Amino acid sequence: MEDPKEHPSVSSERNGTQTATEPTAKTTGEAGGKRTGKDKKEKKKKKAKPQRTGEWATDIERKNASFERYYEAQNLFEDRTELDLMLDSLKRDLPTTFRVTGSRITANDVNDIIRKVHVPNLTGIQHEGVDVDPPRPIPWYLGGLAWQINVNKSVVRKLVPFQQMQRFLVYETEVGNISRQEATAQILEAMHTLPSGEPVSSPSGIIIANDSDYKRAGLLVHQSARLPSPSLVVTNVDASYYPNIYIDNQGMTLEFDRILCDVPCSGDGTMRKNAVIWRQWTIQGANGLHCLQLRILQRAMRMLAPGGRIVYSTCSLNPVENEAVVAAAIKSSAGEYQLVDVSNRLPELVRRPGITSWQVCTDKDTMNMESSFTAYWERLNDKQRADSKIVETMFPPQEVHELNLDRCWRIYPHLQNTGGFFVAVLERSPTYVLPPPKKKHTKRPVDDLANDSEQDGERTRKRARVDTNVEVTLDTEMADPTPVDTEPGPVEKEKKEKGKGTYKEDPYTYVDANSELVTYLLKCLQVQDTITNARGETEAFPRHNLFVRNADATTLRSVYLSNDRVKAVLTSNEPSRLRFISAGVKLAVRQDAGARKAMAQGGPDAETAQKYRVLHDSVSQVLPFMRPEDVIHGDTRLLKVFVERMYPLAREFASPYGEVLGRCELGHHVLQIDPSSADSEVLKGGECAYVIEVWITLTVGQVDAPTDIPHLEVERVAQSDAR
């Protein structure tokens, strides 16, 4: 369920031998011939400057005889013609889909702009005499917040209204209001949304997002930066050996209420957008992932709380990666886990039930397909058995009909013009009693981690009932399908080595909540210690959850904020065991420039200049704790100046804002803009106020100012990161 463009592994870094954009010998006419110096230069140039991913798709032949034979043998459909429909669909480009991010207070406003401006603009137009389909809401997606554009990219490029919408999408994606499908981001959004639909800026739960690939883990940080959250921790470990996560120093471990195992897979369901998979798909690749997928799922099963749920998903249609994994995992749980009947969920999403009979390809050369492990095993000699990479769990187990595999969802591309997916929901019995805890291990080297899972978390764990909203995602994108019957090549080896790299992240150091530094910081941010919230309860600003990313918390440069649960995890675990990559949200940064300038110029505010500035994305963390009179209220004229000017001078704002900003103390301020003041009908209808942070400082003479300003005049200048 991921965006291929975000997947470095499908482009040149994936196989390290031939990039998707490299011309093949066939297309360059090089086959057999000697390369000239010019050819080599050309090739080097092309290598150095790869085309954007996505553009290569059209060059790839969408054919793979082994793939087609493999799926023919699976008998997925009653009628052979349906298989043809599926294969045909896999050969077509995937329509563009996106969703408006649900928890953002702007979600309805952004959706309204799509509905009221872009859809009408794109309705009733034609391209080369053919009607062009306007964007349509995806019927099964909640709240009408997901959209599909069924128009070919080449057409989009030619039609002005589509170009306009494209620009809108790019911009809104950049600021986080629109998202290509990313599971982690969606879970984060869900955590930031109350059941009533109301957004919540500081949920009490924790989400741990993990990827064993360092770059991909970095991508998780990057993607989540669009929805900064004090609840998020990103880790970089092998999910099949995920270490126990302690939440105190007594050995109490975290149990998750929900786990998403979006496991590495062969990705054959993504062929519509990653056409390169047509070329790369091999049976060894798919078979080779089965054991890792099973280990990841089984590790997740041991980290789940009684009554909790796991979603196991792949973007593959291969039963060996899907039903076989789920069946083996349930079987191994000795009745503790079962598949959940989710047939009443998302009724408009067309899908088929999981299957109970499938074939395993036991010989890649002959494409020999078998349905019984016993029959396969019996015909092997000892040497063949020792070398065999085919394992019993790949086959349908004897009790296949008792496992409710029909509760799994198979989402086929031809049913609703989508990619191919597999989804299963597993539940741990609520009555399962965890074994007593074992003493906590501290400061163990990273390589020891396997023990946590293999010798087993179960025996080591103390029962820790933490409340709801504890979630983890144990992976991300399609991994390299390492062939099962070959040694890993140099690229795989290098990747494995990289994964084991030394942990070199900055430490997470919580700041003394009662220190003068924290008091000063909160004063600069105009944060009150306590407020009475909308429910009439007294709520304290979580000053005890402020941390810095260095060992010495006596000077605060960048200040981060987490919630209590994230703090418990960060402070109870050796960072190198869990390999924390990022946690919480960056709240504020020290910005002495304004103060220094004021001092240097002897300006009137030299004494009072504030030093901390809240980051735009964290305004929602401080706003509820600000006194209403400290928030500057305005209309869209105020907003317009910020949109048009990088460093507007106070007097460039129309009255009364020029005067208001001119009187403000230097430093951090928050502006709240009432949308009903907008000129545009669409903006006017918006439900939410625009809130932006503004930093007021002094400027000397002309930064970007009208020429009538005397050169050395000291003036107030306002700036917002929200631009």
Ligand X SMILES: C[S@@+](CC[C@H](N)C(=O)[O-])C[C@H]1O[C@@H](n2cnc3c(N)ncnc32)[C@H](O)[C@@H]1O
Cα distance between residue 723 and residue 721, in whole Å: 5
Decide if residue 172 touches ligand X (CB under 6 A).
no
Decide if residue 404 touches ligand X (CB under 6 A).
no
- Structure-token pair, residue 433: 């009693």
- Structure-token pair, residue 209: 């997002």
Least Cα distance to 623 among 683, 534, 719 occurs for 534
180: helix, coil or strand? coil
Q: How far is the CB of 553 from ligand X (least distance, A)?
A: 32
Q: Which of 470, 479, 588, 671 binds ligand X (CB under 6 A)?
A: 479
Cα distance between residue 222 and residue 148, in whole Å: 24
Q: How far is the CB of 373 from ligand X (least distance, A)?
A: 25
Strand partners, 369: 361
Q: Which of 172, 189, 211, 471 binds ligand X (CB under 6 A)?
A: 211
| x/- letters, 291..310, toward ligand X (CB under 6 A) | -x------------------
Decide if residue 322 touches ligand X (CB under 6 A).
no
Smaller CB separation from ligand X, 292 or 324: 292
Is 564 annotated as contributing to ligand binding?
no
Contact 312, 282 (CB under 8 A): no
Decide if residue 545 touches ligand X (CB under 6 A).
no
Decide if residue 268 touches ligand X (CB under 6 A).
no
Phi-psi region of 29 (alpha: psi -120 to 50; beta: other; left: phi over 0): left
| x/- letters, 459..478, toward ligand X (CB under 6 A) | --------------x-xxxx
Q: Which of 179, 240, 562, 573 binds ligand X (CB under 6 A)?
A: 240
Decide if residue 255 touches ligand X (CB under 6 A).
no
Decide if residue 138 touches ligand X (CB under 6 A).
no
Decide if residue 573 touches ligand X (CB under 6 A).
no
Stretch that binds ligand X, among 178-186, 398-406, 431-439, 567-575 (CB under 6 A): 178-186
Smaller CB separation from ligand X, 291 or 391: 291
Q: How far is the CB of 563 from ligand X (least distance, A)?
A: 23
Smaller CB separation from ligand X, 235 or 362: 235
Q: How many residues bind ligand X (CB under 6 A)?
A: 22
Q: How far is the CB of 216 from ligand X (least distance, A)?
A: 4
Q: Which of 213, 605, 617, 652 binds ligand X (CB under 6 A)?
A: 213
Stretch that binds ligand X, among 36-44, 232-240, 328-336, 416-424 (CB under 6 A): 232-240
Neighbour-count burial for 456-478, b at 16+ CB within 10 Å, e otherwise: ebeebbbebebeebbbbbbbbbb
- The sign of the dihedral angle between the CA atoms of 206, 211, 212, 214 is negative
Decide if residue 491 touches ligand X (CB under 6 A).
no
Contact 206, 551 (CB under 8 A): no
Q: Which of 184, 404, 563, 620 binds ligand X (CB under 6 A)?
A: 184
Element housing 41 (H / E): helix 37-48
450: helix, coil or strand? helix
Catalytic residue among 261, 265, 291, 315: 315
Smaller CB separation from ligand X, 208 or 678: 208
Euclidean distance between the first and final Cα of the chain, in Å? 31
Cα distance between residue 671 and residue 691, in whole Å: 6
Decide if residue 452 touches ligand X (CB under 6 A).
no
Angle between helices 80-90 and 65-74 (to 10 degrees): 140
Instruction: For residue 315, indicate whether it is catalytic.
Output: yes
Smaller CB separation from ligand X, 242 or 690: 242
Is 448 annotated as contributing to ligand binding?
no
- The sign of the dihedral angle between the CA atoms of 366, 367, 372, 373 is positive
Q: How far is the CB of 314 from ligand X (least distance, A)?
A: 7
Q: How far is the CB of 188 from ligand X (least distance, A)?
A: 11
Decide if residue 287 touches ligand X (CB under 6 A).
no
- Structure-token pair, residue 380: 């092997």
Burial class for 606, CB neighbours closer than 10 Å (0-12, 13-18, 19+): middle
Stretch that binds ligand X, among 45-53, 209-217, 383-391, 432-440 (CB under 6 A): 209-217
Least Cα distance to 311 among 346, 272, 281 occurs for 346
Cα angle value 228/717/653 (rounded, 5°): 95
Decide if residue 189 touches ligand X (CB under 6 A).
no
Stretch that binds ligand X, among 41-49, 163-171, 177-185, 599-607 (CB under 6 A): 177-185
Q: How far is CA 382 from CA 377, 378, 379, 388, 394, in A?
A: 10, 10, 10, 10, 20
Is 238 annotated as contributing to ligand binding?
yes
Site residues for ligand X per CB under 6 A: 1-2, 182-184, 210-213, 216, 238-240, 262, 264, 292, 473, 475-479
Binding-site annotation, residues for S-adenosyl-L-methionine? 211, 238, 262
Q: Which residues are catalytic?
A: 315
